[in-house]
Amino acid sequence: MSKQVQVKELSAEAFRHYGSYAQMINPDAPKLGEPPVEFYRDMVQLDLGGCTLASFSTCRVQQRPTVVDVTEYHTACGEGILPLDADVLIHVAPATADDQPPLDDLEVFRVPRGTMVSLKTGVWHHAPFADGSDVANVLIVLPERTYANDCEVVELGEAEQVRIAG
């Protein structure tokens, strides 16, 4: 294993190159209405690449070694990630012009449960890691069948793998 990377807490400045995020539970954002009905509008936008049909999927991740050994990107759309019941760690790296992940630029962020992350098109990522729990259920938002027709996956050799610290 050639590299180790520290976990970062989410902040608008640190995450802006990869996309955006919003705390979806107990939000602190502009709203319409007052209790008992409040509508927090347009909190996160996700570019689905002109797709008219969004697909909502669950990614259930169990505790596993915190090593980035695989990464992927989508060429035609972004991806929405919402941890439902536990905090998670996600790795991200900037989009590239080829199928070579920029491992020297890879970063890892802690995403608190209830926080929606919107990744930009082309950003390298993969399944989250459960952080502090045995299992995490994560809502994934993509255009229908993206996993089958717009998912470039790269498995990293042992020397390229990145260990997550902290």
Rounded Cα–Cα distance for residues 116 and 128 (Å): 13
| Structure token digits, residue 77 | 């759309």
Q: What is the Cα–Cα distance from 21 to 19, expressed in whole angstroms?
A: 7
Following DSSP, what letter does each residue of 4-45 receive, concatenated?
EEEEEE--HHHHTTTEEEEE-SS--S--BS-TT--B------
Check residue 144 and give its pLDDT. 86
- Alpha-carbon span 116 to 56, nearest angstrom: 13
**Helix, strand, coil percentages, rounded to 5, for the chain:** 5, 45, 50
Q: Return the pLDDT at 51.
A: 67
DSSP assignment, residue 156? P
Look up residue 82 and give its two tokens.
């919402």
- The tokens describing 114, both together, are 């209830």
* Residue 116 · residue 128 · CB < 8 Å: no
pLDDT value of residue 117: 97
pLDDT by 10s per residue, the chain, length 166: 778 999 999 999 999 999 999 888 888 888 888 888 877 887 888 888 886 678 899 999 999 999 999 999 999 999 999 999 999 999 999 999 999 999 999 999 999 999 999 999 999 999 999 999 999 999 999 998 898 999 999 999 999 999 999 7
DSSP string, 105-120: G-EEEEE-TTEEEEEP
Give me the pLDDT at residue 60, please.
Answer: 92
Cβ atoms within 10 Å of 73's Cβ, excluding its own: 25
CA distances from 13 to 16, 18, 19 (A): 6, 10, 10
The pair of three-digit structure tokens given for residue 19, joined into one six-digit string: 């996309």
